[in-house]
Structure 1
Amino acid sequence: MTTQTILPVNAEALKALSESRQEPTWLTDSRLASLELAGQLELPKLEKQRIERWNIQSYGEYKESKKLASLDELPERAAQLVEGSREGGLVIQRNSGTVYTSLASELAAKGVIFTDLETAVRKHEDLVKPYLHQALKNDEHALAALHAVVWNGGVFLYVPKNVEVDVPLQAVMLTDDAEATFAPHVLIVAEANSQITYVDNYVSDSLSAPVTHNGAVEIFAKNGAKVRYASVHQLTAEATDVTFRRAVLDNDASIEWIVGEMNDGDTASDTMSILKGNGSTSDAKVIAVGSGSQKINYTTQAKHYGKSSASQMITRAVMREEAQAIINGITKIEKGATKADGQQTERVLMLSPKARGDANPILLIDEDDVTAGHAASVGQVNQEQIYYLMSRGISRSVAESLVIYGFLAPVVSEIPLEGLRDQLQGLVERKLGQ
């Protein structure tokens, strides 16, 4: 029995809240079972960091969110993220609940479902129930169990067989009330030979007290499906951000992860692709900039079960001031996954003597007929490069910026969404104080 986890709600209150939200019985039972597990399980173990020392207890309580009459009512910081994003579909969560949803009529006519998860469990139970908490199970650790207890709002995206969606669907997750629970759950189901791009932004505004974000993403890509998932986290220093992402890939399915970790507070994320099917592929690109006294722990994983499956993961992190980063890459090739190919690269650039970085590439191979490789580096800015640029009449600050952008370019330049590239560029400049 762990003494590290303070439960944010008791069973009676949880049951009453679930019933007041008209949740189906199976979901109420799931929340109650997860609450019991949360009191028994240990916290996840982070490499070289102790998450129990972080502020991971500030869940607040569920507060009803008022629907938006129009997008003009959004706070400025969130409103900037939805400009030009209404073509395909848009879901906006504010604190404990969803306040806006839209989906293009032509996509709805093709059978695409894009709504908040709370609505989906009631209206599309047959599509949600088989998948919810199946990629990230509630017994994985205490935080997974707690998420299964308190999740709210969220996103449900369903793409029918053979349907290809050409425009990105977008979600914005906003927390601006420190007393309200903020725990979105994203569930994506892409049927056989479908194709979808989904983009979300996590943002905070005017928080008056600490907030814990305990979020989860589950993606199921069926045979031949192609899913592109892009996520940018830009929460302020008051928020502690813990996110677990999982994708389960069937035969010839593919997932492309694009993650920009631009928070100002302590952050931990675990992004895992489970390559279950033969010929399945995973491509993960993660960039991060740490500042202040942030503690950061990023893990990217690929687990190969299918034959001829392939994974690629690239993480590049820049640490300034007194920020500390632990970057983990884990490639696991199971027995029987012949012809699998797993490649990974982790690089950390430190901008000050007090910044700290640690890159940990891990290969776990249980099959002989495979290809696998890794590369990792941690280092300071190359002063020779700085001096060379300064000798050409460039100021030191501009020279350092050019070196940093050059360091991040191999990841940023590969992002296929122009708007996301521009957004990440602006966030990098903000985090670097430019």
Structure 2
Amino acid sequence: MATDLNEYVINADEVLSRAKERGESELLISKKKEALDKIETLEMPKPDKTKINRWDFFTNSKPVVDSDVYGSLEELPESVKNLLDKEHTKNIYVQHNNTPAYLQVSDELLDQGVIVENIIEASENHRELVEKYFMTEGVKIDEHKLAAYHAAMLNGGLFVYIPKNVQVKDPVQMVVLHDDESASLFNHVLIVADEGSELTYVENYLSTVEHSNEQFNIISEVIAKDNAKITYGAVDFLPEGFTGYNNRRGVAGRDAYIDWALGQMNDSNVIIDNTTYLMGDNSKSDLKTVVVGRGEQILNFTSQIIHYGKDSEGHILKHGVMKDSATSIFNGIGYIKHGASRSDAQQESRVLMLSERARGDANPILLIDEDDVTAGHAASVGRVDPLQMFYLMSRGISRREAERLVIHGFLDPVVRALPIESVKNQLRDVIELKVLSK
């Protein structure tokens, strides 16, 4: 197994041959060629206070796993059906390992020109749109080695386009079911909300295997044009053994709003980058993240909102719970660029540790290049409040149940922000599993 990343050599001919055999579009193949040409000269990302030189991001035994497809909602596995809101099952995409397995889009959306397609087909069917936004405004192919590797190995994902002034009433939901331990996930999600449009999007990464030695390298690019609004909810729950890189990147135009609610519950070692660029005047983003780490996990989170537009607002809220020997780094960055006058950057990072061996670092960072602004931060790392425990136990509640209630209360500000009830319930169930299991 490769452990020295600088010595790992990618077989470009093999990557391109597989892409052609799979029938990928000329656009994707050209992007893969671009990535392969650059990858050897690019550096790895350098997450703060986390050494990743021995993390295996590259060894990949089987980059594409073909799996079952489904002809109807009734055929979906119960684990997937449980994630679907009974009242909002009109717009659904299911990916089974690396296979586009099920798609349902309402006639109403299709009549309005909304596009919901797997990223590989969309790059052929809607080449101009995909080419305009794919790794051009959000994440760049040459940003670092992992971004280029993602582009080269892309094997799944989704493209969503909302035309001008279209408000999508029912959410678009993607569920990625991972049930083959040999399947890697190099998903790319590209969401574009054109001027004046509105979308609620929810995604779930769910694995039914206990361990995998593969990789996930997932990038989401979320583009909100002028006066557009995107609500993005997600719950990630991938197994131990994966090596993970997850980059969710937002770009907001004038008067645009991107609202993130992320439940990041993976059991693997992972680097996570959530960055939003507030490019337009009066643009806004809320980034809410909840995390639970257990075992010997190493988790590194960078949450950034970078202000370019005047009167822009960015709020970061991160709550994490660490147990066993899990280690987490929470870096929260509010960056107000010169010219972004009257902007407001706020953040709060709090980590609750349930074990003496667990470690959590919360690092609030404010970078201000403008005078007329508002900015603030709060950060704390500690254990369960003994006064809260005493109060609950004095009412006859057991210690285990009291701790459970405190933890759910601590994490609930993010859980409540998820836009679909079934996904809220999934996140609460995962929190219950991860926090209370021995």
Structure 1 counterpart of 2:90: 88
Aligned twin of 2:388 = 385
**Partner Cα separation in structure 1 for residue 400 and residue 275 of structure 2:** 37
| Alignment match, 1:44 | 45
Matched, 1:184 2:187: yes
- C-alpha contact (below 8 Å) 1:14/1:32 kept by paired residues: no
Structure-2 residue corresponding to 1:53: 54
- Give the match for residue 376 of structure 2: 373
Report if the CA contact (8 A) 1:7-1:38 is conserved: no
Tell me the distance in 2 between the aligned counterparts of 1:310 and 1:164: 23
Match for 1:50: what amino acid? K
Q: CA shift at 1:430, angstroms?
A: 1.0
Q: How does 1:3-402 map to 2 (within 5 A)?
A: 4=5, 9-59=10-60, 60-82=62-84, 84=86, 87-134=89-136, 135-206=138-209, 209-402=212-405
Structure 1 residue 254: Cα displacement: 0.6
Q: How many angstroms apart in 2 are the aligned matches of 1:5 and 1:160? A: 43
Q: Distance between the aligned counterparts of 1:188 and 1:341, measured in 2? A: 26
SS of the residue corresponding to residue 154 of structure 1 reads strand
Closer/same/farther in 2, CA of residues 292 and 181 from structure 1, 3 Å limit: closer
Normalising by structure 1, report the TM-score.
0.95
Distance change in 2, residues 1:208/1:432 (3 Å): closer
1:308-355 C-alpha deviation (Å, 9 max, x unpaired)? 111001000011111111111011111111111110000000011111
C-alpha displacement at 1:207, in angstroms?
5.7
CA contact (8 A) 1:274 1:303 kept: yes
Is the Cα contact below 8 Å between 2:85 and 2:422 reproduced in 1? Answer: no
For structure 2, the 5+ residue unaligned runs are: none
Instruction: Give the equivalent residue in structure 2 for 1:427.
Output: 430
Question: Equivalent residue of 2:277, what SS?
Answer: strand
Give distance in 1, aligned partners of 2:11 and 2:154.
15
For 2:120 and 2:169, the matched residues in 1 are separated by 26
Name the CA shift for 1:71/1:58 in 2 (closer, same or farther; >3 Å): farther
Secondary structure of 2:403's aligned partner: helix
Aligned-pair identity in percent equals 43
Secondary structure of the equivalent of 2:58?
coil
Letter in 1 for 2:206: V
| Secondary structure of residue in 1 paired with 2:376 | strand
The offset of 1:385, in angstroms, is: 2.0
* Distance of aligned partners of 1:55 and 1:78 in 2 relative to their CA distance in 1, 3 Å threshold: farther
Count of equivalent residues: 433
Once residues 72 and 206 of structure 1 are traced to their aligned partners in structure 2, the CA distance between those partners, rounded to angstroms, is: 23
Structure 1: 5+ residue stretches without partners: none
Displacement, 1:297? 1.0
> Residue 114 of structure 2 aligns to which amino acid in structure 1?
V
Residue 71 of structure 1 deviates from its aligned partner by 4.4
For 1:419 and 1:129, locate their aligned partners in 2 and report how far apart those are by CA, in whole Å.
34
How far, CA to CA, are the matches of 1:225 and 1:8 in structure 2?
A: 42
> What is the CA distance between 1:399 and its match in structure 2?
1.0
Coordinate RMSD, CA, aligned:
1.9
> Partners of 1:227 and 1:160 in 2: how far apart?
13
Deviation at 1:208, TM superposition (A): 5.9
Partner AA of 1:337 in structure 2: A
TM superposition score normalised by structure 2: 0.94
